[in-house]
Amino acid sequence: MANGTMAAWIPITLFAAFVQNLRFMLQRHLKATRLSTGGATFARFVFSAPLVAVIVAGYLGVTGQGLPAFPPRFWMFAMAGGLAQILATMCVVALFAHRNFAVGITFKKTEVLQTALIGLLVLGEAVSAAGLVAIMVGFVGVVLLSDAPAAGSGLPWHRRIGNRAAGLGLASGVLFAISATGYRGATLALGLEDVFLRAALTLAVVTAAQSVTMAAWLSWRERGEIGRVFANWRVTGLVGLSSMLGSMGWFLAFTLQKAAYVKALGQVELIFSFLAATFVFREKTSPRELLAMGFLSASILLLILAL
């Protein structure tokens, strides 16, 4: 892979992580004030799918390209990744209802280690020794950042992490790892030289399937929720737009680089959250949080230097 292509995935991943942080903030607001877990999850897909379809159609028209063949391997990876992402997103949105949110999000972030393992098992993509060191340094930062002292009300450490939030976080981590590996496998299965078209086509297929799946689920299990999603279009539309921008970034990054490295760099999302909490919401910072940010920053720097 050329050096220019190698470098391109870094700013793309940083952008995707920034937009994802914004989307989770919007989804948390929806979950807290208007919609169910399923509705807040559906909102990310239903407004994103048509936007991606328009982008793909426009890009094909401008470049004069036609639709490629979609091999069975593509459909296997794309559908597995899409279903895993739906379930993972629902787990994260469900986390917002728990006081020990930080614990759950920490377990979610084990997705980086799990992505490395699943990528090796499914795609045969091994992580280098230097890359693994960078990932482990970042994991230390994530652990330090989690489990705020007040969350456990004096309970022992094992009691603080042995709860529903932790279970939801761990489940989301596994599912997001499966999703990332599936998306990388799908983009590679297309075999196109045009990197953007590979990512955009995969995203278009996945978001369309996710929208149909979630619509069927809500029609069956939560009657009236689809109407509430569209009734709150001002916020849900922003969720869809931010989801489309973020997903396009992730898919491009997965096309250019191993999923484990993309996910590891994506932990910069935690730093974005920390900066917003400190400088926008004026929340106080503990010494442990500063130390955690140091580990995360070191991890990101090590990862970039290692590659």
> What mean pLDDT is reported for the chain?
82
pLDDT tens, residue by residue, 287-296: 877 787 788 8
Degrees to nearest 5, angle at CA 164 with 87 and 261: 50
State residue 30's pLDDT score. 61
The rounded distance, in Å, linking the Cα atoms of 287 and 246 is 31
Average pLDDT over residues 278-288: 71
Question: Would the pLDDT of 5 be above 60?
Answer: no
Higher pLDDT: 179 or 155? It is 179
Helix (H, G, I), strand (E, B) or coil at 147: coil
State residue 151's pLDDT score. 45
The rounded distance, in Å, linking the Cα atoms of 304 and 10 is 8
The rounded distance, in Å, linking the Cα atoms of 181 and 121 is 10
Give the range among 48-62, 118-132, 141-155, 198-212 with minimum mean pLDDT.
141-155
Closest by CA position to 87, among listed 200, 226, 210: 210
State residue 111's pLDDT score. 82
Question: Would the pLDDT of 211 be above 90?
Answer: yes
Higher pLDDT: 272 or 149? It is 272
Cα dist from 100 to 41, 97, 135, 160, 274, whole Å: 21, 9, 25, 8, 17
Question: Would the pLDDT of 12 be above 90?
Answer: yes
Q: Which band of pLDDT confidence, cut at 50, 70 and 90, is reported for residue 140?
A: confident
State residue 1's pLDDT score. 44
Neighbouring residues of 149: CB distance < 8 A, sequence distance ≥ 6: none
State residue 52's pLDDT score. 94
Phi-psi region of 65 (alpha: psi -120 to 50; beta: other; left: phi over 0): beta
The rounded distance, in Å, linking the Cα atoms of 165 and 55 is 37
- 0.95 exceeded by pTM: no
